[in-house]
Amino acid sequence: MSRRLPSHLADLYAERHREIGQRLRDFTRVPPEKWFYELCFCLMTPQSSAVHAHAVQLELERIKFFQHGQDVVHLLRDPATYIRFHNTKHTRLHMAREQWPSIEAILLDRGLSARERRDRLRY
């Protein structure tokens, strides 16, 4: 089965495919020790400012949240870097930290295709 984009999306893709490819290559250069904090960013951004989420991500790195697992809800609640649903997202950050060894093992398993890794991470 062949999948085709609607023409308006195909046109946009044709205009931007080089930029998209470059951005994807940028992600391949993120060192593994930063992957956890990239996940934190992704967990914080839904319905929140990416600028705020990035500022909190940098602060989580600075205080070594992964190593210490401290309470950081105040960072998410701070008006300067406000993250909507901060209590829920705070819980998710801690869950990601606890589950990181399993998540990282899937990400590093080169015996799996990208699709298989994605599917395993969904559950």
pLDDT score for 3: 80
User: Rounded to the nearest 10 degrees, how much is the dihedral formed by the CA atoms of 113, 95, 51, 117?
Assistant: 0
In a domain, 22, yes or no: no
Task: Name the CA radius of gyration of the chain, rounded.
Answer: 17
Domain that holds residue 100: 32-121
8 Å CB contact between 53 and 45: yes
Task: Convert the pLDDT of each residue in 44-97 to its tens digit.
Answer: 999 999 999 999 999 999 999 999 999 999 999 999 999 999 999 999 999 999
Per-residue pLDDT band for 123 (boundaries 50, 70, 90) equals confident
Domain count across the chain: 1
User: What rounded mean pLDDT belongs to the chain?
Assistant: 94
Task: Convert the pLDDT of each residue in 6-45 to its tens digit.
Answer: 999 999 999 999 999 999 899 889 998 899 999 999 999 9
In a domain, 17, yes or no: no
In a domain, 41, yes or no: yes
